[in-house]
Chain A
Amino acid sequence: MEPFIRNSEIKGISLPELINDFDLRQLDLLHIDTEGYDWKILSQLDLGKIQPTVIMYEYKHLNDSDIANSIDRLSQKYELFRFKNDLFFRLLPFLERAPFDIIHCHFGTMGNIAVNAKNLGIFKGKMILSFYGYDATWYRLDAGYYKNIKPHFDVFITISNYLKEKIIKLGFPKEKISTIPIVVNLEDFVNQKIPQKQQVIKLLTVARLVEKKGVYYSIMAFSKIQAANSGLEYHIIGDGPLFKPLQELIDKLELENKVFLHGALDQEEVKEYYQSAAIFVYLV
């Protein structure tokens, strides 16, 4: 890593100077994203003189005292919202729409939001909750977690009978559960060319990066195979809490040029990887 770290002297300026020099006293929107320095910068703003309509900063990388100070100071003049889990922001897009007849929630964990919306009178239609996997099997999403949202749904859908049994055990009423397996539109793959003899043979995994999937083991296995076979690449699509540890594992094994973590991609992008891969590594 050493040779890749660059060091240079750069210009520094204080926030008040910056605002003054660039004539930004009528600021409407302030967006700070500096991986940990956000409050050091934002705290220089004199809210008595300059009050942007919207301030965005990231508390994720801040230390505890910076988080506390920022909340303390900003709440004197601003309403504070956390974007990621804030109910208001999650429901905002629905406020401007016509009432829906059917609300279909994908993943058990989304049920909570829909129930809140129903209680607030935003959702008035029939409610469907679909389960896909972790939402019915993860130990922290137990009967207690689902207890209060259960009565609000009209139908539950599971993608397999196995999952159906699981949610019956979680206390969902059997008669309201339907199993509808996930299907693939075969037309999407009609024109797929099977990769001819290529110089590089690509392996592909599409999975959440969580312990249950065992991506760690597939990378370790790949590391052994590639040592004996040249021209192999392993592409992994998906995101999750193990993204960083897995990237570190890849770096440690010195496989940066052979194993690629692409993060979450949309369906079209994933399709392209399916087309170019020779081997799909299915992790259950």
Chain B
Amino acid sequence: MRMSLFFRKALAEPTTFNPSFLTHWISKAFCKKAVTFLQIGSNDGLTRDPIYQLISRNNGWCGLFVEPVPYLFERLKKNYSSVNNPSRLQFFNGAVNEGVNQNFYFVDEHAK
């Protein structure tokens, strides 16, 4: 962990935008401005998320977030609520499976 921190520092860009390793790479993989994404298991959209910065900073990125846990889903929507042109983002509160409603167990947000 300590090593990877060192490594991340070594990669830091001399600009204000310091993308993490993955973010940096993903940004290199897409030269075009319009990118359609699908993220399944978005969590709150922010925590350790490699594409949050790319989506929030690039108006041309549009797509769908899927998150089953209700309180995380609310946080997810909130975390993306202040981006430019929010209509480019869609949200789905559910799980991807064989297409059946299911009982879903999750840890309460107050458990810590």
Say what secondary structure dominates the interface of chain A.
Answer: mixed
With beta carbons under 8 angstroms apart, the residue of B21, B97, B112 that contacts A83 is B21
With beta carbons under 8 angstroms apart, the residue of A19, A40, A89, A106 that contacts B97 is A40
| B2→A10 contact, CB < 8 A | no
In the complex, A44 Cα to B98 Cα: how many Å?
A: 9
| A18→B96 contact, CB < 8 A | yes
| A22→B28 contact, CB < 8 A | no
* Cβ–Cβ < 8 Å partners of A28 in chain B: 30, 35-37
With beta carbons under 8 angstroms apart, the residue of A3, A13, A29 that contacts B30 is A29
Comparing A30-38, A67-75, A164-172, A219-227, the segment that makes contact with chain B is A30-38
Say what secondary structure dominates the interface of chain B.
Answer: mixed
In the complex, A264 Cα to B29 Cα: how many Å?
A: 28
A-B contact count (CB 8 A): 157
Q: Which A residues from 228 to 284 make CB contacts under 8 A with B?
A: 238-240, 256, 263-264, 266
- We find that the number of chain B residues with CB closer than 8 angstroms to chain A is 53
| A114: min CB distance to chain B, Å | 11
* Cβ–Cβ < 8 Å partners of B37 in chain A: 27-31
* Cβ–Cβ < 8 Å partners of A1 in chain B: 111
List 17 other contacts, CB 8 Å, given A56-B50, A107-B3: A10-B68, A11-B93, A17-B99, A18-B92, A27-B36, A28-B37, A31-B37, A31-B38, A31-B50, A31-B51, A32-B39, A33-B40, A33-B41, A40-B97, A54-B29, A92-B28, A107-B6
Q: Which residues of A contact B (CB under 8 A)?
A: 1, 3-15, 17-19, 22, 24, 26-35, 37, 40-41, 44, 52-54, 56, 83, 89-90, 92-93, 106-107, 109-110, 208, 238-240, 256, 263-264, 266
